[in-house]
Structure 1
């Protein structure tokens, strides 16, 4: 959706007021109508007297047989409109009427006046009552006073409830102002004004509470909208390579619906604030679209480069897939696989297709190699059987009985061992160790025989034996001399030296016997 398609909220609309509220509080009415002058025995009706207005339902009417009002006598209505009073005419309290009349008077020229605080105020043309009894002339204005008292009672009752709107409270204040501006009534007007002032202050306090709540709600709405705008801006500020474009695209698609939902749920913001936030959103969306185009344009270029690199690797793999030079080719394929892993990533579909071709070449080579290995292993298992039999033959060789025959038998086993070929890798060390054991036994026997028959060794043994015999004779003489001295120390030393030479001689003579 373009910016022109996205509505920006207008200023707050006036709140609705129920019909019942308007009927109870807001509708000003006229002063009570009176019967025609013909019903009054003490007055004559002017020739041009206007008919009395028809009373509205539920409001006070004339008392049966009562005197006409000055307004009826003058053919006019009282000038100030009043709200309807709750009680009917039969409920007017006579004592209250009399009390209200004490604030009024009729002058000699028939003008009705009222004591309004410290001043006496004439009630204007509506208060002309020539030729009428003063008490009778004051009746409609006293009733109008009680109607005004009832209006204030009804207003106070209305203010004691909750849930008022700004418009309701403003209309109530306006009605208080109109009805209390020099009211055309007879009664304690300063008391009415004092009470009306209290009611106005109470209404203003409620308006202030509503304004405070509305301000708080507007601040919450601004904070919520601002947080949403900042979240979009933060998303747009994310480095392109770190963005999940699918998720981010869905977030941007829901941006306008989310904004509209906030408009419907929140209180209306002031136009400058709303416009500023929307401009930030619009700018973020434009930046996002630009970054996305740039990213995917660059991504296409990288994918093309990756595809070219992998095509080269595939070509090399396909060249090697038919090789039977197993060892070097296996190493070459391992190096090729490392290059594939290091190559840049391309588009998913292209990558998958190229990987399938690369793996097919790899699988072709390793399948052939595995088949060759399987055939080789079968042959090696047969060779293992042959070598197991040769080991059994070799382990029967006894070099102690006949060294020459043992050497010939071992040589024959070794020749057939080499001819048998390779065995499985897992068995190689085991059978090699067994053959080495036989070979060591034959070699040890051969070395012992050589030492025994070597002439030089015999000559050395005989010379050492002769020397030890001569030395022993000398040490025996030394022992006799030591004993002759009786010195224990010399005797012990001579005995130790003689004993050592005798032990050496025993070892040499044993070696000579072995050589013989």
Structure 2
């Protein structure tokens, strides 16, 4: 009777063990599936770690099992945990190295930008500055605090450079405008002289038509008066042109003269 009870209990334990082993096989297979797609990010490794902890807890809840298959399943699960521990450590070592590399690249970009900020060959330097902006975008992820500090320096260098370039362009436009107005003034004065000369030449040429006319005739007198008027207009135009040139030379001399130091008291 006792023997029969033991046999029945043993059979029940075998059935229970078989069911538990089957449940553990599913959990171990689920763990091993984690190795099929190696995590490539911090979040992915967090997910793997949480999943393995969850599966370990579930294996414990299934209950104890016995037999060779039980030992084999535990060995397989431990192998997945060792894989995760090793690969996770390698991932974070590489990540740390990459972060350091990205930070070094960003620092080099900032130093180049700060050097460019002092350049005055704005055409070429502007192209280089824009290239640095693209390199910054491509430089990769780096620790936020250090990146923010470097970005502040990079942005300040860019602002200094482009403010200087805009200022220089404004000064250049002002100089061109002054030169243009000066050229326009000179051109206008020269045209006035040239028109007066042409008018006088035309009047003098017209006198040729009256070479056989009486000098005191009204037509001849009118022509002579027009010649005298044209000659006076030419004289006025030439004087105006000379006065204009004199005034422009005076302006140029004033602009080249050193300004007085406002901090130096008068003698």
TM-score normalized by the length of structure 2: 0.50
The structure having more radius of gyration, on CA atoms, is: 1
Greater helix fraction, Structure 1 or Structure 2: 2
Which fold has the larger relative contact order, with Cα–Cα distance below 8 Å and residues 6 or more apart in sequence?
Answer: 2
